[in-house]
Amino acid sequence: MKIVIVGAGGGVGSVMADWLSRQKDFDQIVLAGRKKDTLKKALDNMKGKERGKIAIVDANNIADMKKCFKGADMVVNSTLPRYFLKIMKASLGAGANYIDMATDLAVINDTPFQKVKRVPLDLQLDQDKQWKKEDLAAMLCWGVDPGAVNVFTRYIADGMNKVDEIKIRDGDKSIIEGFDGFYSPWSPDTLIEEVAYMNSLIWTDGHWERRPPLTVSEEWEFPKPVGKMKVWLVDHEETQSLPRFIGKGCKEMSFMIHLDDEWIEVTRALKKVGLVDCKPVNARGVKVVPRDVITACMLSPVDPKMQSKTKGNISVGAAVIGYKGDKKYMHYIWNTMSHQQCWRSYKATATPTQVAIPTAIAVTLYAQGKIKERGVFPPEALDPKPIMRAFTKYGFKWEQMKKRIE
């Protein structure tokens, strides 16, 4: 099987290239992207580098991507969400299956406190018939969150006859020794977009609404060793797909992530001066995108100096509250990873590793003919049991807890 990873020089793409190169299911792994130097680093880091190959391609250029994707069985999109619709178009045109790990949130940003009718993910889901007609699969929103948590949620919900509430919670308790700057462990562009640029999305009373960014928070008890942390409601993909694909009467759903106080303070200030925006402005005769200036000034998430010094753990999971018969309970499933263990295994922190592995497992299941669905679908549309078994088989450990609620 031949795979093309677009954005293979990035945090998630490079771990995925390494992971896939360790499996026997893939004959050729093409590392595609704009910059030869970052792709070369990713290639050098692959255990099975003899099966890797570099291709220079710009995700803005559909015609070039189509040429690059010809003959590929699957395109793994590990670029930024603003390119997703273009990469989908090029994959469909080239006759290649497709998988991604997010959606382009910024295409629809409704006013807070109003009913939201359509969400950005609909622009991808709307293409279902075209993909089915070509007998191809577009597997949306893999990764860990979204991704593994969608599978966890479906697995839990299958054991309930009624679902009241879904809570996706993401906590990272880590430090970078000797560093006091503004750093994002994954795509800084995406983090700024979902946390500060977009109004947060919530499913409440059986419909979507938005809230102004960074206004809703709570304390969440993550499983040890992470423990209790403050988490914030942000705009995220799971809220767009889970309530409607899970159904079962689900009335409430929220995605909340831990962000430290300094991150909140800096991001609020950047937002106030318009620096998180992505429309170009004229700065002394030069057209610049304000957010590009911030991300250009920040360290790259794949900076080895930062990654090697990151210590601590991340815990990402799904807690579902619902009923089996007349018994109400919460069932929580999560994955915890240690930054240092991931550094030793993949030369990356747990942040990209936790995203890359479940995605790579989904690609492997597809390669093995164990995912047979066609069309455009999120992870929770699939039978979760074989995927949970594959998570265990390939070392993506999940733990669970059930608690009765009176």
Residues at the interface with ligand NAP (CB under 6 A): 6-7, 9-13, 33-35, 38, 58-60, 78-81, 83, 101-102, 143-147, 186-187, 190, 301-302, 352, 355
Question: Among residues 160, 147, 143, 190, which one has the least CA distance to residue 12?
Answer: 143
Other beta carbons less than 10 A from residue 97's beta carbon:
25
Question: Given the complex with ligand NAP, which of 243 and 352 has the nearer CB atom?
Answer: 352
Question: Given the complex with ligand NAP, which of 39 and 160 has the nearer CB atom?
Answer: 39
Q: Map residue 149 onto helix, strand or coil.
A: helix
Beta carbons of 208 and 345 less than 8 angstroms apart: no
Q: Using alpha carbons only, how large is the chain's radius of gyration in Å?
A: 20
Token duo for residue 172: 């990272």
Q: In angstroms, what is the minimal distance from the CB of 106 to ligand NAP?
A: 11
Q: In angstroms, what is the minimal distance from the CB of 57 to ligand NAP?
A: 6
Token duo for residue 313: 């753990």
Q: In angstroms, what is the minimal distance from the CB of 284 to ligand NAP?
A: 25
Q: In angstroms, what is the minimal distance from the CB of 161 to ligand NAP?
A: 29
Beta carbons of 196 and 277 less than 8 angstroms apart: no
Question: Given the complex with ligand NAP, which of 190 and 313 has the nearer CB atom?
Answer: 190
Q: In angstroms, what is the minimal distance from the CB of 187 to ligand NAP?
A: 3
Q: Map residue 64 onto helix, strand or coil.
A: helix
Beta strand residue intervals within 136-221, DSSP E: 137-139, 162-176, 200-204, 207-211, 217-221
Question: Given the complex with ligand NAP, which of 12 and 160 has the nearer CB atom?
Answer: 12
Question: Among residues 315, 318, 379, which one has the least CA distance to residue 168?
Answer: 318
Question: Given the complex with ligand NAP, which of 322 and 352 has the nearer CB atom?
Answer: 352
Question: Given the complex with ligand NAP, which of 23 and 359 has the nearer CB atom?
Answer: 359
Largest CA distance in the chain: 67
Q: Map residue 244 onto helix, strand or coil.
A: helix
Q: In angstroms, what is the minimal distance from the CB of 60 to ligand NAP?
A: 5
Q: In angstroms, what is the minimal distance from the CB of 58 to ligand NAP?
A: 5
Question: Given the complex with ligand NAP, which of 106 and 323 has the nearer CB atom?
Answer: 106
| 7 exposure class (CB count in 10 Å sphere: 0-12, 13-18, 19+) | buried
